[in-house]
Amino acid sequence: MPCTKGVTKATIAARRALVAQYKARRFTHRQIAEVLERDHGIKVHYKTVQSDVYACAEVWRQQMAEGIEAHKMAQWVALDELERSGWKAGDMKIVAEAIAQKRKLMGTDAPVQSEQKLQVSAGKSVEYIEVPLPREAPPEPE
């Protein structure tokens, strides 16, 4: 059980803010612990710094996910307006493009088929081989 004697949530939050700043500058956990003690008078073990980094990373993941969702929502609203204006103008090309972009945004499009070139080098000669991708998904293992 972690030692929390005399440590308030505000103290932990302030320490984590400092830890995040130093982590963003690519300091190691041990370096952060040293800097916290030397420059801020906060004596912590590097394992505490590690726990703080993990806690910060979880918050960052949540913020990133919220940011992505907000961005997708803004794109959806713009595409919705584009589709609506296409219908109003009777321009089916705009409507179809808006719908296609909505499908892409939501990830409901079918997988895209593409070809890849593989470079094979044997000695001094270089050969390019066309490698077609499979048309169907491989069978599920039993």
H or E stretch covering 15: helix 9-24
Instruction: State whether residue 76 is helix, strand or coil.
Output: helix
End-to-end Cα spacing for the chain: 44
Pairing mode, strands 115-122 and 125-132: antiparallel
Angle at CA of residue 15, ends 10 and 17, nearest 5°: 95
pLDDT score of 1: 40
Handedness of CA 80, 81, 82, 87 (dihedral sign): positive
Residue-wise pLDDT tens digits, 36-81: 999 999 999 999 999 999 999 999 888 888 888 888 899 999 999 9
